């Protein structure tokens, strides 16, 4: 699907986010550093610094090319297909970030004490 306003592929402005945490990490009891949202289906996945890198895995398995940061105050997009950053992308269905009072990294009760040593750089 192509966003009519921006001409960018991989966008469904009507798809709400799947939740407030990474879908696969929540299912597996994992934890994440930052969250990314698929612009096409609303899948929430964890960033490439996170141990499991589920946002990139979602692109690999589905071909959905565009993600937006799901961090409060961030609205940039990353296009995996074009390997390009978009500062100004399409407007997606709200909410556009996880709750401001949700900790980063998260979730707090699943975070190992040595989490900083487990990040990808």
Contact set with Zn ion (CB under 5 A): 22, 24-25, 38, 40-41, 43, 46, 52, 54, 64
Nearer to Zn ion, 57 or 85 (CB): 57
* CB of 51 closer than 8 Å to CB of 119: yes
Query: In the complex, what is the shortest distance from the CB of residue 22 to Zn ion, in angstroms, rounded to a whole number?
Result: 3
> From the CB of 67, what's the least distance to Zn ion, in Å?
8
Tokens of 112: 């190992």
> Distance between CA atoms of 121 and 117, rounded to whole angstroms?
10
In terms of CB distance, is 1 or 75 closer to Zn ion? 1
Minimum Å gap between C-beta 64 and Zn ion is: 3
Interatomic CA distance for residues 70 and 90, integer angstroms: 14
CB 29 within 8 A of CB 52: no
Nearer to Zn ion by C-beta: 30 or 72?
30
């Amino acid at each position: 699907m192509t966003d009519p306003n921006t001409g960018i592929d991989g966008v469904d402005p009507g798809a709400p986010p799947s939740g407030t945490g990474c879908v696969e990490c929540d299912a597996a009891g994992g934890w994440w550093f930052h969250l990314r949202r698929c612009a096409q289906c609303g899948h929430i996945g964890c960033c490439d610094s996170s141990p499991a890198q589920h946002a990139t895995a979602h692109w690999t398995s589905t071909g959905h090319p565009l993600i937006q940061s799901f961090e409060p105050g961030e609205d940039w997009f990353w296009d995996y297909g074009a390997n390009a950053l978009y500062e100004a992308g399409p407007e997606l269905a709200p909410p556009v970030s996880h709750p401001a009072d949700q900790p980063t990294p998260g979730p707090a009760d699943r975070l190992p004490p040595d989490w900083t040593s487990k990040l990808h750089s």
